[in-house]
Every structure is written in C-alpha cells, then in structure tokens.
Amino acid sequence: MRALEPADAEAYRALRLQALANAPEAFGASYEEEAGQTLDGIRARIGGHSANRIFGAWSSGRLVGMAGFAARERLKSRHKGIMWGVYVRPDWRGRGLGEALVRQVIDHAALHVVVLEAAVGLHNESARRTYHKLGFRPYGIERKALRVGNVFYDEELLFIDFSDAAR
C-alpha cells in the first residue's frame, strides 16, 4: 500500500471508472464526468504538492483498491479534510484491504488536519461498520445526498476529531 504517483494515472483511471460504473450510488462523481478527464488532468490530481493524497493497494502490479484524502483549502476550514473515493475491486473484498486503506487515510489526515470527514451511503452496511470501527462518529444524515437516474440515496455523515482527548 502506498500513495499514488503521477506514473500510476492509467491504473488509477481504470479503477476509478470501474468503481463509478459498478457502484454509482457510492460516489459523488459520475462515470460520465470522470471518463472525460484527461490523463494529464489525472496526473495533476495525483501529483499535487499539497497534503492531498490518493492511496492504492496493489497486487502483482495491479491496482486493486484506493482511497483519497483532500484537505479543505479555504482559510476558515483548512483544519478539516475529507476521505473520498474508497473502493476495492469486488474480487479483492473481504481481505481487509478497505480497512487498511481507510487506516492509511486516517493516519495521513492526522498529520494535516484536526477533523477528518466522510460520507457513506446508508445502504452500505459493510463500509459503515468499517468506518465506525476505525473511529468515525456519525453527526447527521443527508437525505437525498445523491441521485442516480431517478433513485435518491441517503448518506451518513461522519467525522473523526483528532484533537479529541478520548481518541
């Protein structure tokens, strides 16, 4: 497991498009939007010099899982970041990769922000269990957070406060 580099752009793009096609209800981005991204644009996203990172799990040179971290940029919210884009190929699920990727994001985020936020579909029990197990706490429900076709999906809003002494 490691942070992706610009040279990983093609592998990342392929996995990202697979994720968006297979689970459109789990991501804020759409397949159509991401399919239009150029490899140069993806390389720039991966190779930024800020705290933002995309972590990948690899097997035999193949990207099989990913999870992203983005720090907020606005002055009044720079103390917060968001975990996004968590996905593991279906044939690699159940092996702890998703949990390991989320841990990687949490560890990285703790070095850069005070609060880490995430959102997860209410229907995604497996991901919700993992996030709760790793210390995320719910703070609300966003009704109709995503719309795929004519179907709406609610999301649970989560956070970890790294300054919380009880953590």
- Amino acid identity of residue 121, one-letter, is G
pLDDT band (50, 70, 90) for residue 14: very high
| pTM tops 0.85, yes or no | yes
Using one digit for the tens of pLDDT, what is the confidence trace for 52-83? 999 999 999 999 999 999 999 899 999 999 99
What range does the domain containing 28 cover? Answer: 2-161
Domain count, the chain: 1
pLDDT at 167: 58
The reply to whether 123 falls in a domain is yes
The reply to whether 39 falls in a domain is yes
Cα 12 to its chain centre, rounded Å, is 13
pLDDT of 26 higher than 80: yes
The reply to whether 167 falls in a domain is no
Token readout for 144 is 């109709």
The reply to whether 103 falls in a domain is yes
Yes or no: say if 136 and 107 are a contact pair by the CB < 8 Å rule: no
The reply to whether 73 falls in a domain is yes
Note the helical H segments in the chain. Answer: 9-22, 31-35, 39-46, 97-110, 125-133
52 closest CA partner among 19, 78, 76: 78
Yes or no: say if 70 and 60 are a contact pair by the CB < 8 Å rule: no
The reply to whether 166 falls in a domain is no
CATH number for the domain including 6? 3.40.630.30
pLDDT of 145 higher than 70: yes
Distance (Å, rounded) from C-alpha 72 to C-alpha 61?
A: 32
pLDDT at 19: 97
Average pLDDT in the 155-162 region? 97
pLDDT at 70: 95
Using one digit for the tens of pLDDT, what is the confidence trace for 74-124? 999 999 999 999 999 999 999 999 999 999 999 999 999 999 999 999 999
The reply to whether 141 falls in a domain is yes
Share of the chain above pLDDT 90, in %: 91
Yes or no: say if 133 and 100 are a contact pair by the CB < 8 Å rule: no
